[in-house]
Structure 1
């Protein structure tokens, strides 16, 4: 037993040295848990943020000026323009929205006649177009009502509705996206590193050296699993402490040791997946294509981006065999809601079972194909 452990340790150290001498992989690791986390949580805005809007005021009345002045930062960046310039700007993609207030608009409103305002939306910008169109309609309606009634109408409801946002009281998008990026990158990077390490052995011819050494397939696999898992855990810890908590100031109230224990079980499964995919692939390009077919559905359907309850029942059942599904569930419960082991233990049991099955299947595949790989 001591000899096996020693072989696993030494082979794992060899993997770490090989990774240290690979600058491309080192850059990928650093980028994945620093720049990628920061940009995904701050650069991509799903809500209105400095959306460019063109306003064509053909009425030049008090009401039209009130409507024009209602669009201000941080939701909008407005620009007063002409009708021809508005069309050219929409065609060129300079504006997401364009509001055209026709002549005699105020007169038609006050006289009770039919009054229309044209709102053009660039629907290719889906994230802002969907929410922005409704928001603009509400703003215009509110300004018109206030102007006609000469006061802001307040409706007294028969109940007192108190809305409280749990776990993210200010509804900060980066609180969610930064942590989810760490969770997704743990699975992605572990598959890449493990699969690339095995393919690198074959491309460099060192797999032949391993075959003549007094080591077993189990020892070779375990060396790659523990070494690549260690790298991902360290990178995830640095990204979580430095980028998420240090730079983005996202509060993490849950137990980090419990979270990383769940990440360790997930890595046991995903590294096994990386080894299996590497035995199926004959080159790095093939491995990259296969990884896209596996990783993208895992991340999209694991519940990190969209709640699993909103997915079809068959998709929910199929995704129960994916380790990322249970990792996302336990990670959100621990980091967001400060859940303890008594709450997330079913996810740990699922991960342990999935990881064991994946490792056994990968070990059988690796054992059957190691001679043909050499």
Structure 2
């Protein structure tokens, strides 16, 4: 291998990418608006959920319960009548409708059994699932606080001191921003390398490379480093401008260490992109193959669902995927401020997986080049 050939071919790839406005827009969107949207609109986040209250008690306790619902989790409660409740929910005006019965406070103080009705528009699945538990907690806390003023406190109480490590605000945007960057690094690295190979095949420039004094190893290495540099640059800009700047997410660990791990991950995923590019015969086929590969990588890597919640066979199989180790590495560095002494097993795993994928992809690439020759 000649280093000059690898460098010049890589520069050619960069110029080819610069002449592709669709890819440039995709890169810009994936590391800016997509990160911001994923962080601020997490599906399980309860934000300004519309709620209405039927207050037939008109007591001090019912007023306390109504006042406990406020932004940003809920919109200001709308006071309605029982006749309006079903009509408003049918019209989609309210996700939650809370009905407080008459004599609710009196029955509680007298020790009689009573209940509050909560109607939920379950077609709004994400808000309905999360808001249900929020409303139950709010109502229970208000009732408990109110009754403590009128009933003696019987029994010994134990206070649970909650200490949230690494994310003291329990802010879902901190999680969403970093995990979206991890997903988009994998997405772009596979798409850019695979699309570059298919684009050359469709434009006929592969034949031009075959008559040049370059080897398949040099061609593939050039594509790997060029696309990896693009994704690394976009990742760095996104971390500082979007995650830390626009979203205000604190990064605890070393960004250079994270970028070093990202480079190893890109070594594996760009090789995978080359492999998919040799298997697919057209861009639509490549898109379908990418979907089949990306979905398991992202869903089963531990970024969406903790690995401990997965079946043991799935956990074992996913140890062969680079995403699994990259998610562990990224979370340890960016969330918990881990150093190399903690994440070196993930670095080693990414290097080994990258070498295997590179060798397999190179073998497939040589066969593909041979058939074209």
- Give TM-score, length-normalised by structure 1: 0.92
Tell me the CA shift for residue 87 of structure 1: 1.6
SS at match of 2:97: strand
| TM-aligned CA distance change 1:340 to 1:112, over 3 Å | closer
Q: 2:120 maps to which residue?
A: 121
- How is 1:159-170 mapped onto 2 (pairs within 5 angstroms)? 161-170=160-169
| TM-aligned CA distance change 1:197 to 1:246, over 3 Å | same
- How is 1:186-205 mapped onto 2 (pairs within 5 angstroms)? 186-205=185-204
- Cα shift readout 1:154-196 (whole Å, capped 9, x = no counterpart): 7885656433222122222222221221122111100010011
How far, CA to CA, are the matches of 1:161 and 1:63 in structure 2? Answer: 26
How far, CA to CA, are the matches of 2:134 and 2:330 in structure 1? Answer: 34
Gaps of 5+ in 1: none
Tell me the CA shift for residue 116 of structure 1: 2.8
Tell me the CA shift for residue 353 of structure 1: 0.8
Tell me the CA shift for residue 152 of structure 1: 8.5
Q: 1:69 maps to which residue?
A: 67
- Cα shift readout 1:100-159 (whole Å, capped 9, x = no counterpart): 223444454455544332101223333332332223223333434454554597788565
Tell me the CA shift for residue 36 of structure 1: 0.9
- How is 1:214-363 mapped onto 2 (pairs within 5 angstroms)? 214-363=213-362
Check whether the contact 2:42–2:176 (CA below 8 A) recurs between aligned residues: no
Tell me the CA shift for residue 248 of structure 1: 1.7
How far, CA to CA, are the matches of 2:355 and 2:65 in structure 1? Answer: 63
Tell me the CA shift for residue 239 of structure 1: 0.5
Tell me the CA shift for residue 358 of structure 1: 0.4
Q: 2:50 maps to which residue?
A: 52
Moved more, 164-173 or 88-97: 88-97
Which of the residues 31, 38, 57 maps onto 2:29?
31
- How is 1:98-177 mapped onto 2 (pairs within 5 angstroms)? 98-148=97-147, 150-151=149-150, 161-177=160-176
How far, CA to CA, are the matches of 1:62 and 1:81 in structure 2? Answer: 18
Check whether the contact 2:253–2:333 (CA below 8 A) recurs between aligned residues: yes
| TM-aligned CA distance change 1:45 to 1:153, over 3 Å | farther
SS at match of 1:279: helix
| TM-aligned CA distance change 1:104 to 1:254, over 3 Å | closer
How far, CA to CA, are the matches of 1:255 and 1:149 in structure 2? Answer: 49
| TM-aligned CA distance change 1:339 to 1:157, over 3 Å | farther
| TM-aligned CA distance change 1:314 to 1:102, over 3 Å | same
Moved more, 116-125 or 20-29: 116-125
Moved more, 138-147 or 120-129: 138-147
SS at match of 2:248: coil
| TM-aligned CA distance change 1:307 to 1:152, over 3 Å | farther
Tell me the CA shift for residue 371 of structure 1: 4.2
Q: 1:213 maps to which residue?
A: 212
SS at match of 1:60: coil
Q: 1:16 maps to which residue?
A: 14
Moved more, 69-78 or 326-335: 69-78
| TM-aligned CA distance change 1:150 to 1:315, over 3 Å | same
Gaps of 5+ in 2: none
SS at match of 2:50: strand
Moved more, 18-27 or 147-156: 147-156
Check whether the contact 1:97–1:122 (CA below 8 A) recurs between aligned residues: yes
Q: How many residues align?
A: 372
Check whether the contact 1:202–1:373 (CA below 8 A) recurs between aligned residues: no
How far, CA to CA, are the matches of 1:328 and 1:310 in structure 2? Answer: 16
Check whether the contact 1:146–1:152 (CA below 8 A) recurs between aligned residues: no
Moved more, 148-157 or 181-190: 148-157
Two-structure CA RMSD over aligned residues (Å) = 2.2
